[in-house]
Structure 1
Amino acid sequence: MDLSWSDEDRRFRDEVRAFLDAELMPELRHVGKTLTSVYAERDVSLAWQAILLRKGWVAPAWPKEYGGCAWSVTERYIFASELAKAHAPPLSPMGLGMCGPVLIGHGTAEQKAHFLPRMLKGEDFWCQGYSEPGSGSDLASLQMSAVEDGDDFICTGHKLWTTHAAVANWIFCLVRTSKEAIPQRGITFLLIDMRTPGVEVQPIISLSGEHIQNHVFFTDVRVPKANVVGRVGEGWSVAKYLMQFERGGGVQAPGLTVRLRKIAAMIEAETAARPDLADEAAALRRQTADAAIQIEALEATELKLLSRLSAGDAPGAESSLQKTVGTELSQRLTEIALAAAGLFAQVYQPHTVSPGGPVPGYRPPNDAAGIGPDYSWTVAAKYLNDRAGSIYAGSNEIQRNIMAKAILGL
C-alpha cells in the first residue's frame, strides 16, 4: 500500500481545506472544539449535514448510485483528517454510517429507494436498538419479541442505552421472531418508526449530566414485515455485518492526533504558569510521547482496513482491533488531560462547553464566563463520557475474544 501523497491527493486536500474555510461556520467550529461527547446534538449534526449535502460530501463511503462519494481510501482519510483539524462537529453515524451500509448490502430495492435519500437529507434521524437489560455484550440473548400477525409483526420489549432515541424518528432493532436451540438463530433485523403507537422513550442521564442515552419500551408495536432487512430469522448475520462498520471502517487516528496536540499544549501552558510542576509535566510528556506512537500504529491499521473496504470487502476481525485500540487510546488521552488540568478539572460548568445533549436540572450562573483556562473546561466531562467507549459497540473484552478466535485461531 503506497502511503505517499500524489499531486492529485494534494489537490483534493486543498479543495477540502478551501471548502472548510468557506463553509464551516464559526459556531459549528466552536461546537467541534468544545464537544464533550462522542456525538453532537441533533440540531448541530443536521445543520452541518445540510452543508455537506449541498457539496455532495455527506456519505464518503457510499456508492455514487446511492448518493455517496465513492471516494478512494486516500480521499476518505484526507477528508477525515481535515475535518478533525478544522474541528468540524461529527455527524450522527446511526443512519449514514451503520444502517445505510446495511441497507446497501442487505436491503430490498424498495428499502434503498425510500430510506437512503432520506438519510442523506437528514429527513430521518436514526437510533440503534440493540442492547437490552441482561443482553449487552451477550447480544444473542436478547428477548424483545416480534410475533407475526398477518402482514405485520407485533413487537414487545425493552431496549436501553439507546443514543439519541429521544430525538430520533426511526430505530433499527434486533428482535426475536422465534426461539431456537442456538440463540443467534431466530433473530430478525427490523426497522421501526419511533412514532408508532406503543413506543415510549425514557431518559438515562450520564455521569457527565447529559441526556444522550435512553430506555425505549415497545408495547404491542405493530411493524410491517416489509421493514425486515434481510430474511426473517437471519438478522444475526445482518447485525454482524453492521457491527463491523460500527466497530471499524472509520478513521480515529487523525482526531486522536488533534486531541493529543491540544493536551501537549495544555501541559506546556500549565508548566509555564506553575514552574513547580516541572517533574509532573515531564511525566506527562512521556505519556503523550507513548500515546503518539500508539496513535501512529492505529493509523496504519486504519489505512489497511480502509484499503480492504475500498476493494469491496467488509471489515473483518481487524475492526475489533481498531475499536479496542481506538477507544482505549481515547480513554488514555482523557486521563492525561485530567492530570494536566489539575484542580480546574473539578469545576462543573457545562455551560462553557458543547454537551452531546441537554443537561437536565443544570442552571448556568449569571456570569457565563468559565472558571479556569478554557482548555480545562471540557476535560472532566470528556473523561466521564469516554468511560463508555470500551463498553459500547461490544465491550473490549468481547473484541479480544473475537480477535483471539478469528486472527490467532485460539
Structure 2
Amino acid sequence: MGFIQAFTGALGGTFADQWLDFLTVPSGIAPTAALFPAVSKGTNAGRGQNTKGSESIISNGSKIVVPPGYGLITMEDGRTTGLITEPGGYIWASGDPNSRSVFAGNGIIASTVSTTWERFKFGGQPGSQQLAMFVSLKELPNNRFGTQSEIYWDDRYMNAQVGAVARGSYTMKIVDPLLFVHNWVPARHLQPNAQPFDFTDMSNDAADQLFREVVASLAAAFSKYTNDEDKDHRITRIQQDSMGLAQALGAAVEENYRWAADRGLVIVKVAMESIEYDEDTRRLLSDVKKADALSGDRSRSFASQAFARGVESAGQNGGGAGLAMMGMGAGALGGMAAPTNQTPFAGAQQGQQQAAPQQDGGAGQAQGGQTQGGQADGSQSGEDPVAKLAQFKQMLDQGLISQEDYDAAKNRALGL
C-alpha cells in the first residue's frame, strides 16, 4: 500500500492538467499554520466546483498534489499509512505492488524520519477511507516570546551576573513530521474538517506550552551565547546575531525540553526586538565600555592626548616649572627623554623665593640672600639650555605640545 508518484513538481506537466479532481493545500492558508486537512480541488467539466467529496478523506485511487514546502501524511485510526515530503502528483493505491511511501532522505527532513515511520506506520491493509493532512515544512514565522521580569545569567566577559527584560520572535521548522503529529499535535486537530494547528494561536494549549518553554530557556541561552569561549561573544551582540543566538536558544531548548528528539521541532532564527538591562547591568556596561576604550593602543593614544593638554595648560598658567613637571610625565609614558625636575628658569625662581625672606631681615641678610640666590643660579648653570630645548623640540615633533607652547618654552629658557 502507499503512493504512486504520477509526476514531479507540483502542478507541473500535461499529466497534472488532466486531473479534474484532486486533494491539495487549501488556498489562503496562513504562513504560521503547521498542520491542516487536505481539501478537494476540481471542476466538473467546467460547470462548477466539485464539492460532493468528503474533505480530508481519501480512498483507493485518490489523486493528491503536494506543493513545494509541504508534506502529506495519511492516517487511519490514529496510525500513519503514508508520508510524502517531495513535491509532485501522487495516486493512492492500496493494492498496487508498486505503491510506496515517499521520503526526502536529506535536506529539511531529519534523518530520523525513516526510524519514526517504522514506529508509527499502519500495520496491515487500510480501510476504504483515510485521513489526509498537510504539514508545513517551511520556516514557521512570528513565534513571539517575552519576559515579564528580569532574567539573570553569569556573563564571562563582564565577569559578573547580569540581568535584562527581553522580547523578540523566532522561526522554527518541523523536521520530523511524524514525531510532530503523533507526539505533539492534539487529537482535535487530527479529524476531518479540523481547524489548522497554528503556533501563533495562543488559545492553542500546545503552542502556549512552547512559548513558556522558550521563555524558561532564555537565561540559559544568553549564558551559552555570551560564555562561548570559541566565539568570544559579548552581551552587546545579542541583538545583532540572529543565527548565533538561535543556535544557543535551540541548544538550551533541546537540552531542557527535547524539542527535536521528541517533537520533531527545531528553532531556526531569533530576532531580538528589545533587551532592557537592569540598573546594575547598565552601570557595569558603562564601566566596561570605558575600560575597553582605555586598553591597548587606544590607551596610549588617550594618555598622549591628555599629556599634550596638560602641557598646553602648564604653558599658559604654570610657566616653565609646569612644563618641567609635564616633561617628567612624558618620560613616564616611555620613548621620550624626560626633563629633570628643574629647568634653568625654574631654578632662578627658586633663588628669588629664597632671597625674599632674607631681604626682610636686613641689608646684610639681603646680600647673603642674593649670594645664595646667585649660587642657586650658578648651581643650575650646569644644565644646558640647549639640551632642554632639544627635549621640548622632541615633544613638539611628537605632537605632544603645540608650536606656541614650544616657542614660549624656548623664550623662557633663553630669558627672552
| TM-score range for the pair, normalised by the shorter chain length | under 0.3
TM-score, with length taken from structure 1: 0.23
Larger fraction in strand: 2
Q: Which is higher, the Rg of structure 1 or of structure 2?
A: 2
Highest RCO, 1 vs 2 (Cα 8 Å, sep ≥ 6): 1
TM-score (norm 2): 0.23
- Determine which structure has the larger helix proportion and give its number: 1
